[in-house]
Amino acid sequence: MSVVAIIQARTGSTRLPNKIFLKLADSSLLSHVVNRLRPSKEIDKIIVATTISSQDNSVEEWCIQNHIDYYRGSENNVLERYYHAAKKFNAEIIIRVTADDPFKDFRLIDKAIKILRENKYDFVCNNNPVSFPEGLDVEALTMDSLSKSFLNSTSNFEKEHVTQYIHRNKNKFRIFNIKNDKDLSSYRWTIDTEEDYLFTKEIYNNLFRSNKIFLPEDIYQLLENKPLLLKINSRVKKSDLYKKSQT
């Protein structure tokens, strides 16, 4: 079964515009998100799904320069964008990735894909209920599940957040949630604000090496050694989606 990781990326973030091109260590946030997926043994293709807005021409140009496949679709209906991107690249299993998560763990993604395949689940995630840091979210779903979501979603919230139809209609899907050994959901490892970016920059300045992907356990160790780093973005509120995915 063809596994396609679809990274949703746009430049029009309201709180931190153009954040996907902010620099971390030697490269842009978007580059790091792509590169952290590359070691996966289960992903067959990585693509970027951006919008048809002219301000996202820069995303298309970046994809062309970096030899990354891409799809351009609806600006607000991200679910529709995912559906058509998945169809275009013949995906049978889709990994949902957001371009503002700079610490993705390819091992966790591979684990989700294996669980989905071997047990014939429709949807495998690790955020309902949450137990991993915000930003280490994993969501793997079948093309059939994505199609059902696309055809049946009615609210703007479901259309904006891709997998919310599944989260809200658990009885219609075979779902498995990966639970962390320890509840670390209080950690915030995503970039929404300037404070998040400053926190991430510090992590990358300490841990990034061009020839090796640093892992969540490296971040935990760093935060244990330098606990003051946690204060940088400690006042930033958790995203609504992160809270709502628990209900």
110-130 per-position pLDDT tens digit: 999 999 999 999 999 999 999
Q: What is the pLDDT of residue 244?
A: 42
**In the predicted model, what is the mean pLDDT of residues 26-35?**
96
**In the predicted model, what is the mean pLDDT of residues 62-77?**
97
Q: What is the pLDDT of residue 237?
A: 76
Nearest CA to 203 out of 29, 14, 24 is that of 24
16-20, 119-123, 148-152: least confident range: 16-20
The count of structural domains within the chain is 1
pLDDT band at 241 (very low <50, low <70, confident <90, very high): very low
pTM for the complete prediction? 0.94
Strand 69-73 relative to strand 93-98: parallel, antiparallel, unpaired? unpaired
Nearest CA to 139 out of 101, 168, 178 is that of 178
Q: CA 161 to CA 101: how far, in whole Å? A: 15
Residue 40, helix vs strand vs coil: coil
Q: What is the pLDDT of residue 235?
A: 86
Q: In the block, which residue shows the tokens 């959901």?
A: 185
- pLDDT at residue 163 greater than cutoff 80: yes
pLDDT band at 185 (very low <50, low <70, confident <90, very high): very high
Q: CA 194 to CA 232: how far, in whole Å? A: 10
- Region class of 162: left (phi > 0), else alpha (psi between -120 and 50), else beta: left
Cβ pair 164, 97 in contact under 8 A: no
* Sheet strands (E) in the chain: 3-8, 23-24, 27-28, 45-51, 69-73, 93-98, 123-125, 139-142, 175-177
Q: What is the pLDDT of residue 13?
A: 82
Instruction: Give the domain CATH number at 238.
Output: 3.90.550.10
Q: What percent of the chain has pLDDT over 70?
A: 96
Q: Compute the mean pLDDT over every residue in the chain, rounded to the nearest whole number.
A: 94
Nearest CA to 102 out of 201, 236, 1, 237 is that of 201
Give the range of the structural domain holding residue 157, as residue numbers without chain letter: 3-244
